[in-house]
Amino acid sequence: DVVMTQSPLSLPVTLGQPASISCTSSQSLLYSDGNTYLTWFQQRPGQSPRRLIYKVSNRDSGVPDRFSGSGSGTDFTLKISRVEAEDVGVYYCMQGIYWPRTFGQGTKLEIK
Amino acid sequence: QVQLVESGGGVVQPGGSLRLSCTASGFTFVTYAMHWVRQAPGKELEWVAAIRQDENKKDYLDSVRGRFAISRDNSKNTLYLQMDSLRAEDTALYYCARGAAQGRTMAEGFDYWGQGTLVTVSS
């Protein structure tokens, strides 16, 4: 199975400061159609996962533009330009081209 | 608006069975692939199974293959997960998630999730 490795696993951040989460896959996520299928999810406490970003850098509708995704091949990053209180939760990356689909371990973002 | 509502969870003894349902609304169900994803208490997300729009292809996590069966009834806009020979390690909150639209690669999707239904396997 493709292993998705996130770091850090815990991310204390001061309100208004930036945050960055890394995700590394054990195999390239570049698909035969030329797209790279790396997705980021946010899971707020007590809620279902919410897709934030798909195909590395495409924000879903309603996702604030302080969230951005980047990367290629096997190395990816989710950045929050200025953390707000509503950003508290666990963030997961997921690869979309190999079976089984696999998620990272999750990064827990909390306010310092 | 898109809604996915899971049901059917509960407490079951090891070796027992449960059938989960996921009722979809707000979109043309028959034109989308669907997934089941689970989350054990305090743990990360784990993909379980997927089914294409026309049921002709299904994929499973190795640890559930042969015990779980994913299916759908497009006339009822409903996704199912039949779970047999349940084990303690199957204890989790089970989510359904919308997959790729017809004509799109299965690499897409996971844009909408239900609220989950809890399965507890315990004697």
Tens digit of each residue's pLDDT (9 = 90 or more) over B63-98: 999 999 999 999 999 999 999 999 999 999 999 999
**Confidence at B56, pLDDT banded by 50, 70, 90:** confident
Q: Give the Cα separation of A6 and B7 in Å (integer).
A: 32
Q: Is the pLDDT of residue B55 over 90?
A: no
DSSP state of B91: -
Position B36 scores a pLDDT of 98
What digits encode the pLDDT tens for the residues A21-50? 999 999 999 999 999 999 999 999 999 999
A-B C-beta contacts closer than 8 Å = 59
Rounded mean pLDDT of B98-115? 94
pLDDT at A18: 98
**Residues A103 and A4 sit within 8 Å (Cβ to Cβ):** yes
End-to-end CA distance of chain B: 40
Question: Is A50 in the B-facing interface, judged by CB distances under 8 Å?
Answer: yes
What is the dihedral sign for C-alpha B78, B82, A94, B101? negative
Is 80 exceeded by the pLDDT of residue B17?
Answer: yes
Residue B111 has a pLDDT of 97
Where residue B67 falls (left for φ over 0; alpha for ψ -120 to 50; beta otherwise) is: alpha
Could you tell me which residues of chain B have a Cβ less than 8 Å from any Cβ in chain A? 35, 37, 44-47, 50, 59-62, 95, 97, 105-111, 113-116
Six-digit token pair at A75?
């190395």
Alpha-carbon separation of residue A92 from A8, A23, A105, B40, B76 (angstroms): 11, 9, 7, 15, 32
CA distance A96 to chain B (A): 5
Q: What is the mean pLDDT of residues A48-60?
A: 98
Give chain A positions within 8 Å (CB) of B35: 101
Q: C-alpha angle with apex B10: B4 to B14, nearest 5 degrees? A: 125
Please state, in angstroms and rounded to a whole number, the distance separating the CA atoms of residues A27 and B10: 37
- Using an 8 Å CB-CB cutoff, list chain A residues near B42: none
- B53 — pLDDT class (breaks 50, 70, 90): confident
Q: What is the pLDDT of residue B113?
A: 98
**Averaged confidence pLDDT in chain B:** 96
pLDDT at B7 > cutoff 80: yes
B30 vs chain A: nearest CA distance in angstroms? 21
